[in-house]
Amino acid sequence: MAYQFIMETGEIIPGANSYVSVEEADDYLAQNIHAAITWDALPTEQRQKLLSWATRYLDQRARWNGRAVSSSQPLRWPRYGVRTNDGIEIPWNSIPKQLKEATIEMARYLIDSDRSVERPQDGLKFLKVDVIEMEFREGYTLPEVPSEVINILAGLGSLISGPTGFGKIRRA
C-alpha cells in the first residue's frame, strides 16, 4: 500500500498518521530563521513523511495523560481528561496546540538524524559501583527526544528519553 498522509483533527480520522498539517508546520517554522531554510527546501512529500514519523515517534515514547477517546483510533490522541499546565481542560475532540508544535519540532529534529534506530556505538562500556566509576563508549549520545519538545509537551504527559531497558548486571 502506498504511503498516504492523513492528518488527525480530533475527530478520529481512519488511517490518520500525523497530528499536524504541512501548512501548519510551514507557518510555524517560518518564524525560525534557522529551520525555515532547511524545511522549505524539502519537497512536500518529504515534509509529510517527517510529520508522520514525528507523530509516531512521540506516540511511541509518551505516557500521555488522560485516556484515549476510542479503542479504534489510529493515534493516541484525541484524549479525554487532559489539562494544560494552566489547568484548562483540553477538549476531547481536538489536537492541542502544544502537541502540534512538539510534533513539528520533532520532525525538524528528525531531518538530520534517524533517532529511531539503535546504534551499536551507544551504551555503557564500564561501570564500577564501589567508588562509582562509569565509562561510556566514544561518541556516545543517547537517542533522545530534544529537551525543547519535552518542554513544549509539559502537562500533556511524560516522555521516555533514551533506552528503557537495563544493561547486564554482574557481581564483582
Digit-coded pLDDT (tens) for 57-66? 999 999 999 9
Residues 64-87, mean pLDDT to the nearest whole number? 95
Of 143 and 63, the one with more pLDDT: 63
Per domain, the residue ranges of the chain are 22-159
Rounded to whole angstroms, the maximal C-alpha distance in the chain is 57
170: confidence class by pLDDT, cuts 50, 70, 90: very low
pLDDT at 119 over 60: no
**pLDDT of 118:** 55
Cα separation, 153 vs 172, whole angstroms: 42
Cβ 42 vs Cβ 56: under 8 Å: no
Residues 7-27, mean pLDDT to the nearest whole number? 97
- Give the pTM: 0.79
pLDDT at 172 over 90: no
**Could you tell me how far CA 32 lies from the centroid of its own chain?**
19
pLDDT at 171 over 80: no
Cβ-based neighbours of 12, under 8 Å, separated by 6 or more: 69, 70, 72, 73, 74, 78
Cα separation, 141 vs 4, whole angstroms: 33
- Of all residues in the chain, what percent carry a pLDDT higher than 70? 74
- Of all residues in the chain, what percent carry a pLDDT higher than 90? 59
If one counts every other C-beta atom within 10 angstroms of the C-beta of residue 75, the result is 20
